[in-house]
Amino acid sequence: MTRTPTDSSSSPTMRLFNRPWRQRGSSDMFKPTMSVMILQYVLLVVLLLITVFPFVWQLSTSLKGAGEDIYVFPPRLIPQAPTLEHYATVARTIPILSYAWHSALVAAAQVVSNVVLATMGGYALALMRFRGKAIVMGLLLSTMLLPGEVTLTSQYLTVKALGFQNSLVGVFLPGAVGAMNVLLMWTACRMMPESILDAAVIDGANAWQRLRYVVWPNIRGMASVVALFSFIGAWDDFLWPLVVLSEPAKYTLTVGMQYLSSNFGSNPRVVAAGTMISLIPIIILFAAFQRFFFQGVQEGGVKG
């Protein structure tokens, strides 16, 4: 009995794969329905209100005059008589430029130290072989399980023993490198193809040369994420500078702003103005480097 030849393209399986929505570049199979799109936009609007509304309300409060009711419902976000007097009150009450300079010094130092040390630590844990790597990784992960308040006393005693209490160096030291940043760089280094590293070894490159010329160009995106997180964490830190610093002349901006809350608690407009002043550098920084931030997140989340 002879078998009649059949065209393989006419089989059910081949017809399935030959459909237009399977073609390269087509996204019809992922196109959501109208109800799904409406739900997505509703969720985005809700998320926008939750995240952005407090910021907008603080900005509106800082610009409202003394005669305007800031607790009216529904809230009026546009001031009737905008004024910058509350910002002037903040400037007359605390030395903003001096405190901001202290915060900038600590934040810049932590950005540099975290990028350098986290890169070297992530590279060593991901691409180098040595005894005790699993133990080091376990210790690194275990530090992330402890809240910062638990180690606050030991950190203070260590800084005091080194003679750095009541100084910006003492504020900087505990945040010189973070376990989360090391893990981020470890993740980025693990994305490196082993064939490229093997080729570098065959060419005679040592560990530092492989890090500098092979690994670093591929993990700079994640390094920008580490830098941004380090800056925000150092700039927003309040508890640790409050513990270490005892002289008001050495305060950082966040600690200095606490003076407004204690002395102008009855005037939330001044407190809101101080909050906006402390947020401005972070907003400018993120707006300027958001392209590198999202590029780094994408590099760390997609392999290949």
Cβ pair 228, 286 in contact under 8 A: yes
Last residue of a domain, one of 39, 58, 83: 83
Instruction: Please give the pLDDT value at position 8.
Output: 47
Instruction: Tell me: do 49 and 66 sit in the same domain.
Output: yes
Instruction: Tell me: do 68 and 96 sit in the same domain.
Output: no
Cβ-based neighbours of 258, under 8 Å, separated by 6 or more: 238, 242
Cβ-based neighbours of 124, under 8 Å, separated by 6 or more: 130
pLDDT tier at 110 (50, 70, 90 boundaries)?
very high
Instruction: Tell me: do 144 and 99 sit in the same domain.
Output: yes
DSSP state letters, 235-288: HH--HHHHHH--SGGG--HHHHHHHHHHHSTT-HHHHHHHHHHHHHHHHHHHHH
Structure tokens given for 164: 């750095």
Instruction: Tell me: do 74 and 106 sit in the same domain.
Output: no
Instruction: Tell me: do 43 and 151 sit in the same domain.
Output: no
**What's the domain range around 34?**
30-83
Q: What percent of the chain has pLDDT over 70?
A: 82
pLDDT tier at 143 (50, 70, 90 boundaries)?
confident
Instruction: Please give the pLDDT value at position 214.
Output: 85
The reply to whether 233 falls in a domain is yes
Number of domains in the chain: 2
Instruction: Tell me: do 68 and 93 sit in the same domain.
Output: no
What is the domain-level CATH number for residue 263? 1.10.3720.10
Q: Is the pLDDT of residue 300 over 60?
A: no
Question: What is the spatial distance between Cα 170 and Cα 160, in angstroms, rounded to a whole number?
Answer: 8
Average pLDDT of the segment spanning 40-59: 83
Q: Is the pLDDT of residue 12 over 80?
A: no
More confident residue, 211 or 11: 211
Last residue of a domain, one of 83, 106, 128: 83
Instruction: Tell me: do 78 and 100 sit in the same domain.
Output: no
Instruction: Tell me: do 181 and 216 sit in the same domain.
Output: yes
Instruction: Tell me: do 106 and 157 sit in the same domain.
Output: yes
Number of separate helices (H) and strands (E) present in the chain: 14, 0
Instruction: Tell me: do 34 and 132 sit in the same domain.
Output: no
Instruction: Tell me: do 71 and 98 sit in the same domain.
Output: no
pLDDT tier at 262 (50, 70, 90 boundaries)?
low
CA–CA–CA angle 132, 137, 138 (5° rounding): 95
Cβ pair 300, 221 in contact under 8 A: yes
The reply to whether 145 falls in a domain is yes
Q: List, for residues 221-251, the tens digit of each pLDDT value.
A: 888 888 888 998 898 888 889 889 888 888 8
More confident residue, 173 or 78: 173
Question: What is the spatial distance between Cα 69 and Cα 76, in angstroms, rounded to a whole number?
Answer: 9
Instruction: Please give the pLDDT value at position 292.
Output: 65
Nearest one of 82, 185, 74, 86 to 140, comparing CA atoms: 185
Instruction: Please give the pLDDT value at position 106.
Output: 93
